[in-house]
Chains A and B, each alone.
Chain A
């Protein structure tokens, strides 16, 4: 019975997300196999965010969390959306069937087929090992039980969202307010845990972490679909997805679930991929999805709004294909000057001290990225492929994804070099966790760049200007 409840708790948001995407008619113009992978991959992220938004709304109107207030309306909504999508596209069911068939019957040579099934088997073992940890281990990592599950426990028992306040406010005796280590953190992650416990019918701080496994699984599928959507061969797309699923730090965040970094990384990656699709295709559905996921970023972690802003350079390059890079270059130079100014002055604006300390701990960062077991060969591969593929990454079709990734890297470097995170770098507490947000996108960019390098030179290279409206110039 527990197993059924847990399966339902994962299936509901997943199916809800897929139903929304199908009703939206997304993705447009893809083959059934690619469309299936994209729907399945993006479905969980979209559905999980929608589920928690519904829970917020239920809490606001005073509906206690339960099967009736959450499961029933969202199941109905899912059914209605599927019905609507099926009416709009009568061939939906047969497309889904041929999509599943395409995933396993793609045109692969004998050795490619062997590698294909070996990789799938290897991934199945990986997910089974991670599932063992999720199923059995009580909530383990530190921040999970001082700032995330604290909220989940209170909200589950109360059946609604209750406020968490700062230490001084709590000590002053504000009624009906709780306290934990980070009272201002967003509600999405605890609400996902609450929903799992609601579905299960009891508080269980092991079982409530199954969403983390679903996040990594759906992200893996989404990356496969996104790479296939850009014309990457099935086996190479699977290898790209495998790279993401096998990144040790991402695996750890599933095995020792409870932190918001993996959900943050997944939603940001999906937002970036949807933005990239919009840049290339200008399909409003891609744009709507990208906007929704970008708005969802700050709902997961507070720095999510900065991650959402890193998507803008991609949009600029897409809208202004001729002048976009120059504008971004000028903006980057101006930002560098502002940073330099703030690092050398003690400016105070609206009472806020704007001085920035430049205290990077590069040695620890290099150790963490290149010498320890956190990232497999990711950083070696990224640096090599970006150097070798430099002539491709700043041209269509890769340039929007490149500038998004560079903006993300710039944000990471800013955090490491100028904020108190630099101090945390010294004892390796935060560098890797912050990098989780960007790592899947680095894999996608690296794989797409390699794909461009491996393409025969005779093939035409798509240009942004051919797909998008040219700018006024």
Chain B
């Protein structure tokens, strides 16, 4: 067994973290699945479907002597834009948007990401997408516009990183 997890050893970590059981929150795992099935993942990239558990991975990365240079997080936001729209948000915007909502424990701990960026020189990028609705009941399945955006997000990632 390797001494370090693969997500520490690769230059770029692309993490799809989201909850498949809550409608549009399941976008991110679907993007990872799309990329895995349709693209050749370059050697320097670790593409990970971390579901709702990225926290553990970030803890390990922060304490590891070897870390990725870039961490790309695909994140769900509700900014009143067109559902399925893809755009970047800064790390500082995460707490404002999600500090008090019930999904916070499932998304990346923003303070950990901030520590990684500020203290470990890891570049953190948040690629966001506009959800149609935030569900409050278990209901798997993406809304139409967000489902269409899966391929667009995958294409954007592949063009920029693969």
Q: Do A and B come from one complex?
A: no
